[in-house]
A and B are shown apart, each in its own frame.
Chain A
Amino acid sequence: DIVMTQTPLSLSVTPGQPASISCKSSQSLLHSDGKTYLYWYLQKPGQPPQLLIYEVSNRFSGVPDRFSGSGSGTDFTLKISRVEAEDVGVYYCMQSIQLPQYTFGQGTKLEIK
């Protein structure tokens, strides 16, 4: 199975400052169809996860443009340009290239200073 490793596991950010989360996969997530199946989810406290980014860099409907995703192959990054209080929660990366096994990272907890 593909292992997804996130760093850091936690970060504390001042509102208005940027934040960055790394996700590394144990195998390339580039599919033969040319797409890279890497997703980012945010789980706010007491809520189910919500989709932020799909296929590395595509923001899902309604996701603010302060969220951006980048990367290729096995190395990926989620960036928040200016953190807001509502961004607190746990961020997960997920792969779906190795179907039918969807694998999540261990999560990165974002707190506000």
Chain B
Amino acid sequence: QVTLKESGPVLVKPTETLTLTCTVSGFSLSNARMGVSWIRQPPGKALEWLAHIFSNDEKSYSTSLKSRLTISKDTSKSQVVLTMTNMDPVDTATYYCARILGGSYCPGCFDYWGQGTLVTVSS
């Protein structure tokens, strides 16, 4: 059974750095046909893709947020970590991690998602 679970602070102050962890089970982060993405959703608003990482350590970032984001993984711990610097109230959102398929079947598909974690940015 594939599961993903986000963890991290529920409240951060403006200018602080946010660190979120996605712990996965049911698949390996070393699987060549899979990766993990982070996607966020401000309250009542649309989804916004942030970053992804694949088994070969290939990383990609949203062009608008690239300077603030870092994604990494610890395969032995089955964890993917996202850091976002210089947090602002507009970054208040539910942050999701999702598995992304990279093989010939359903490439680019986010097939499993975590339940998300709401992060509020406020002083």
Interface residues of A (CB under 8 A from B): 1, 37, 39, 41, 43, 47-51, 54-55, 58, 60, 92, 94, 96, 99-107
Roughly how many angstroms separate A50 CA and B62 CA in the complex, as a whole number?
A: 21
List of A residues within 8 angstroms of B37 by Cβ: 102
Q: In the complex the two chains form, is A100's CB within 8 Å of B52's CB?
A: yes
Q: In the complex the two chains form, is B46's CB within 8 Å of A49's CB?
A: no
Contact A92:B46 (CB < 8 A) given known A48-B96, A49-B113, A100-B61: yes
Q: In the complex the two chains form, is A37's CB within 8 Å of B47's CB?
A: no
Interface residues of B (CB under 8 A from A): 37, 46-49, 52, 60-63, 96, 98, 106-111, 113-116
Contact A101:B62 (CB < 8 A) given known A48-B115, A49-B47, A107-B46: yes
Roughly how many angstroms separate A93 CA and B113 CA in the complex, as a whole number?
A: 16
Q: In the complex the two chains form, is A103's CB within 8 Å of B49's CB?
A: yes
Most A-side CB within 10 Å, residue of B47, B63, B106: B47
Q: In the complex the two chains form, is B49's CB within 8 Å of A51's CB?
A: no
Q: In the complex the two chains form, is A104's CB within 8 Å of B47's CB?
A: yes
Q: In the complex the two chains form, is B106's CB within 8 Å of A60's CB?
A: yes
Q: Binding site of A, secondary structure by majority: helix, strand, loop or mixed?
A: loop
Roughly how many angstroms separate A47 CA and B48 CA in the complex, as a whole number?
A: 16
Q: In the complex the two chains form, is A48's CB within 8 Å of B63's CB?
A: no
Roughly how many angstroms separate A49 CA and B49 CA in the complex, as a whole number?
A: 13
Q: In the complex the two chains form, is A105's CB within 8 Å of B108's CB?
A: no
Roughly how many angstroms separate A106 CA and B41 CA in the complex, as a whole number?
A: 11
Contact A51:B111 (CB < 8 A) given known A101-B49, A104-B47, A107-B46: yes
List of A residues within 8 angstroms of B110 by Cβ: 41, 49, 51
Roughly how many angstroms separate A60 CA and B48 CA in the complex, as a whole number?
A: 21
Option from A48, A54, A92, A100 in Cβ contact (under 8 Å) with B106: A54
Q: In the complex the two chains form, is A60's CB within 8 Å of B109's CB?
A: yes
Q: In the complex the two chains form, is B109's CB within 8 Å of A51's CB?
A: yes
Residue of A with least CB distance to B59: A100
List of B residues within 8 angstroms of A47 by Cβ: 115
Q: In the complex the two chains form, is B46's CB within 8 Å of A48's CB?
A: no
Roughly how many angstroms separate A35 CA and B37 CA in the complex, as a whole number?
A: 22
Q: In the complex the two chains form, is A100's CB within 8 Å of B46's CB?
A: no
Residue of B with least CB distance to A107: B46
